[in-house]
Amino acid sequence: MDAKFIKLLLLGGAARFYFCRTSLGTVIGNRVEFATPLNSHKRMQEGIFLLQNGIDPYQGDVVHETPLILSALSGLFRNFPQFLPVFYILLDIFTAALLYMMAQRFVRKKQDQQNVETKEYATDTTELQFSGSDKMDIPELVIVAYLFNPLTVLSCVGMTSTVFSNLFLAAFLYCLTKGLLLPCLLILAFETVRSFYPVVLLAPLLLTFSGRSIRSGFLISLLFAACCLVISVANFFVLNSWNFLDGTLGFIFYFRDLQPNIGLFWYFFTEMFEHFRIMFLITFQLNATVLYLLPLSIKLRREPLLLATILVALMAVFRAYPSLGDVGFYLALLPLWKRCWKFMAHGFVVFTFFIVTLSMMGVLWHLWIYAGSANANFYFGATLAFSTGQIFLITDLLFAHVKRDFCLFNGQKILIDGEEAKIVLK
């Protein structure tokens, strides 16, 4: 293995271990920006305690992790609680390693594709093409963006179950680039049963493996449904009860907990009249899942990994219980599209949005909850601006990809009546 790769992993692990030995973990575990009803470490502990004492964890409305996860971690939580931080750190390091290997395979595939198409490229597009140095540069940027992003570091330090979600998503993307159909299906099915929204990643999976064949796509979809059923049955045998479905998927869909977070659901459903609730629940959940799925799949049918990146980002923005750990994960995927950065026009705006809103969230939360000199509108304003910044980033990446793709085949300088033309999307 590359020595620099090993050093980065060790340094990322050391940074996490250092912060775990401070009181920061407890603070982060209580912050609504990182800990939600779905990923809270305290709720995980409660669920494992109830399971070990023969009590159904899903009879109340506290535990929302799947029985398989609770059962798998019960021994570690009960017998070796002092090693829990190390366990979470190791999982996060493994996630970074998977992203690194995924990025390596992605760059190799793009270079192979580029070697086939290079005769069709315009003469002034060398800087838009993948170069030999990208084999190392892009994977290193990906691993650095994950290991040393404060959002992912703090999510790990707070021992949120977002660490598990990031691991499953990284494993899915790695298997997707490697062409492993069955592991892709199993990982995606497991994460879908856990958190509902990853079901949309079936679209890039179908684009990768179906070969544009309707029959193959239908068979893969049936196999995915079978995997979901098998995992659901496995969860059933842990408790001999189907209550976990309502405690996990039902809890997410019906949005029962109005605890503030960085998302868009909580404020709207706090203020809304109850008799409109079902209609807007369906509307919000459609927005978070299938609304953008078809147009994006059609446009990005030749770029399944970019489609997966965009869908993961949209999930982080529009899901019912988002956390900053989800945001940190998709930010680590952006270096994959390094060759599109030239056309990203809103970098400064997005950076400013992120810095200002992330800084203001803590301040406004303190003013609202502790000082009593603000209200929910202040905090929601910061989270709304943060979501707006993320949307700017996603659309900017999409626009940059379209412009790069156009310029590769048509050249960067297009003259109309002797003047340089500008590419404008309408």
Mean pLDDT of successive 10-residue segments in the chain (426 residues)?
Answer: 87 95 91 94 94 90 93 92 94 97 95 88 85 91 96 96 97 96 96 95 94 88 96 94 93 93 93 88 93 93 95 96 96 94 91 94 93 91 96 95 89 68 62
The pLDDT value given to residue 61? 86
The pLDDT value given to residue 380? 95
Predicted confidence (pLDDT) per residue in 99-137, tens digit = 999 999 999 999 999 988 888 888 888 888 888 889 999
Q: Domain limits of the chain?
A: 3-420
The pLDDT value given to residue 143? 96
The pLDDT value given to residue 2? 79
The pLDDT value given to residue 235? 95
Task: Say if CB 148 and CB 15 are below 8 A apart.
Answer: yes
Question: Which distant-in-sequence residues (6+ apart) come within 8 Å of 417 by Cβ?
Answer: none
The pLDDT value given to residue 416? 64
The pLDDT value given to residue 118? 85
The pLDDT value given to residue 47? 94
Q: C-alpha 27: how far from its chain's center?
A: 23
Quote the CA–CA distance of 165 and 25 in Å, as a whole number: 19
Q: What is the pTM of this model?
A: 0.94
Predicted confidence (pLDDT) per residue in 366-396, tens digit = 999 999 888 999 999 999 999 999 999 999 9
